[in-house]
Every structure is written in structure tokens, then in C-alpha cells.
Amino acid sequence: MAGAYIHIPFCAHICYYCDFNKVFIEGQPVDDYVSMLLREMQMVMAQYPDEPIKTVYVGGGTPTTLTPAQLDRLCRGIRETLHFEQGEFTFEANPNDLLTTEKLQVLHDNGVNRLSIGVQSFDDAILKQIGRTHRSQDVYTAIANARQVGFDNLSIDLIFRLPGQSRDNFLHSLQKALALDLPHYSTYSLILERKTIFYNLMRKGKLTLPTQDVEADMYQDAIDLMQVHGRQQYEIANFAQPGFECRHNLLYWQNAHYFGFGAGAFGYIGRDRYHNYGPIQQYLAPLKAHKLPVIEHHLVPLEEQIEEEMFLGLRTRAGVSRQRFFDRYHLRIEDVYGTLLAQLQAQGLLTDADGQVCLTNRGMFLGNEVFQQFLIDGPLL
């Protein structure tokens, strides 16, 4: 069983923090893109006719920048081509694309059953400062419209450590978000990625961010407040009522297989990790010639598989299962990481009990620093 990630690279506006593969939609060959995207799915699935698709996630960019007709064509094509009868079917959306029910109705009619809505903050001044074009009132309209159409599996994203954001300001956004009583929330610390407006401002000394101590307080506030409201932290940045965890993302964190379709998309099938061309025309050209738009294939060696098993599994509260690790690699975790496990436990970053290796709260906050220590130096066999 595998998941399918489908990338829509178009945006009506480019946010200042975003480094995902995206382009401003005006003047772009959107209809051609949808056609070639469906062709890519047909070509790939012809090679895997018996591979059941468990989850579908349409991300971006902003998938809801497509017109209702384009959304309808895309969703119908996904169902027909991927043989995706039932399962979690997620679309990312911006609030200001959902101010009427037209697009929502198209998605719902085509079997989309989960929405992930990019909110980021409930402070209009901060939304403007980070390059978002919606305002907080639009979030309420979007959620009301989604519920009216019949969506109940809804998630929103929040970002902390934003320019000009205080701890109280983020706490206010958390409270506003939880008052909506949604089954799922994601909250991420701002990362300054290259090729973003914020990164360039930082290099010029023109970006003032909260301190690391304030960032840590914001993260702990999110964990605590979500817990009080019955949303369990099941991954570093994700919180859900039981049964509403994002099943597609769980495939990633369990180091499972997934197809990647669209410009710049990654896939991971068997030991093959592949990567599509990112620029739109470079993605379209091979498909028009009935060739796949893959720029690179990477056969993942054992060492890298094990590293990723640890990186990804430790992102989740469930952690890494000793039994699952042994079943996959015919090695015990301590055969590879015995000394390191003891060191991280002594530092209060890791727990190792009941057959599960997990990060502590402090370990989760320092996640990237901890993960780097699981890199393997040299071949195992």
C-alpha cells in the first residue's frame, strides 16, 4: 500500500517565508499542467497496476487557486487514474479561496474528505507582515462554508516565531484556533529558508525575530493548550483528536512508500527515491513527449534507510518500534546506535521503554540537533 502526493505549484500571491516549489499563477499554462499531471499519473500507475493507494494529499503552492472546473477535472482524474475508491483525500486550501462554497462543493462532490487550511495567525497585522492576503475574519467564513458543505475533518496551520510576534500574541492565535473546535491543528516554528524574502531580509539585518527562549515558550504553550483541549500531540508539529491524525503524513513518518506527482514532487517506491523537474516548462516538456518528468533517481542504501527510519519515527510521539525496526532491517536498534541511545537518555532527550524509542518534550524541541546524531558514519555491512 502507498500514498500519493500531488503538487499544484500555483499561487495567487507569494508569501514571504515560503520556499516550496511555486509560481505566481497569472499567465501560467494551468490547463496544460492539469492535463500533463493526469498523464503522469496514468504513465506511472501503468507500471504499478496492482499498487493500492491508501491516501491522497494535494498540496502546493495553493491547490485551491484552480478554478472550479479545473478542480473538478483534477479530482475526477485522480479517482479514475489512481483507482482511489476510499481513504483519506486531503486538499490544502487558503481561507480566501473558500469565501464562497463553489470550490468547496466541487471538492466535496468528488470525494475530498479532509481540508488543511493555511491560517498561520489570527493577527491581521502579522498576516500582512508575512505576506498573507487573507485576514482573520476570512478564516471564520471559510470554516463555516466548509462545514455547511459537509466537511468535518478540518485542520488549520499556525506559525510561531514570526517577526513582531510576542508569546502573548501567539497564545491569542492558539486560543482563537482552538475556539473553532477543529479535530486537527498543525503549528510550526518559522524556518528561514534560502530563496525567500525573509531570508534575504535576515541577511540584510532587517528581520527581528523572537529569541530562542521565547520560541521554546511558544512551543510549550502550544503543547500544553492543545492537551487541555483534548488534542493529542502525535508528531512534533501536529495535534489531533483521536482518530483524526493525518494518515497521509503518518505514511511519511513511518518511512512508508508514496508516489509523487507534479512539478518538483518527490516519490519513494521500493528503494527508489525520485524527484521531478521543478520549473513548469521543464516538467511539461517530457510529458508532452510521453516521457516521465523525473530529473533524478536515487537508490536508497541500507544506511540511509535506517537513518530515515530514526529521523522520521522520532518525529512522532509513538517513536520508533524496536520490533518494526528489527523486522525491516534484521538488526536491533542498539546494534547500530547502542552508545548514542544511552547518551541521549542521559541528556534527557530520549526515552526507551516498552519496545519504543521516543523523544522527550525537550528532545522534540531540539529535534534537528538530535536527528543529526543518528547519521551513520560509513557502511554497516
CA distance 120 to 289: 40
User: Is there a single domain that holds both residue 87 and residue 207?
Assistant: yes
Tally of domains within the chain: 2
Residue 118's pLDDT is what? 96
User: Is there a single domain that holds both residue 101 and residue 20?
Assistant: yes
Instruction: Identify the three-state secondary structure at position 240.
Output: strand
User: Is there a single domain that holds both residue 100 and residue 245?
Assistant: yes
Q: Is 296 part of any domain? A: no
Dihedral over Cα of 103, 104, 109, 112: its sign: positive
User: Is there a single domain that holds both residue 93 and residue 192?
Assistant: yes
CA distance 272 to 137: 45
The CATH code of the domain that includes 355 is: 1.10.10.920
- Tell me which residue has cell 544511552: 342
Instruction: Identify the three-state secondary structure at position 259.
Output: strand
Residue 19's pLDDT is what? 73
**150: number of Cβ within 10 Å:** 11
User: Is there a single domain that holds both residue 76 and residue 166?
Assistant: yes
Residue 207's pLDDT is what? 83
Q: Is 377 part of any domain? A: no
Q: Is the entire prediction scored with pTM above 0.85?
A: yes
User: Is there a single domain that holds both residue 68 and residue 189?
Assistant: yes
E-strand spans in the chain? Answer: 2-8, 10-11, 23-24, 53-60, 88-93, 114-120, 154-160, 184-189, 232-235, 238-240, 258-261, 266-269, 272-276, 294-299, 320-321, 350-353, 356-359
User: Is there a single domain that holds both residue 107 and residue 207?
Assistant: yes
Instruction: Identify the three-state secondary structure at position 211.
Output: coil
Strands of the sheet with 258-261, listed across from one edge: 232-235, 238-240, 184-189, 154-160, 114-120, 88-93, 53-60, 2-8, 258-261, 266-269, 272-276, 294-299
User: Is there a single domain that holds both residue 88 and residue 221?
Assistant: yes
Residue 203's pLDDT is what? 82
Q: Which of 231, 252, 273 corresponds to the end of one domain?
A: 252
The CATH code of the domain that includes 83 is: 3.20.20.70
Please confirm whether the linkage preceding 61 is cis (ω < 30° from 0): yes
CA distance 71 to 40: 17
User: Is there a single domain that holds both residue 233 and residue 368?
Assistant: no
Write out pLDDT tens, residues 185-228: 999 998 887 777 787 888 888 888 899 999 999 999 999 999 99
User: Is there a single domain that holds both residue 205 and residue 328?
Assistant: no
User: Is there a single domain that holds both residue 244 and residue 312?
Assistant: no
Residue 202's pLDDT is what? 80
Structural domain containing residue 211: 2-252
User: Is there a single domain that holds both residue 65 and residue 133?
Assistant: yes
Cα three-residue angle 240-245-250, rounded to 5 degrees: 135
Contact status, residue 136 vs residue 182, Cβ threshold 8 Å: no
CA distance 94 to 139: 9
Residue 381's pLDDT is what? 62
Q: Is 275 part of any domain? A: no
Name residue 187's beta-bridge partners. 158
Residue 378's pLDDT is what? 73
Q: Is 27 part of any domain? A: yes
Q: Is 272 part of any domain? A: no
pLDDT beneath 70, residues of the chain: 16, 381
Q: Which three cell numbers stand for residue 282?
A: 521543464
Q: Is 33 part of any domain? A: yes
Q: Is 292 part of any domain? A: no
Contact status, residue 66 vs residue 8, Cβ threshold 8 Å: yes
Contact status, residue 256 vs residue 309, Cβ threshold 8 Å: no
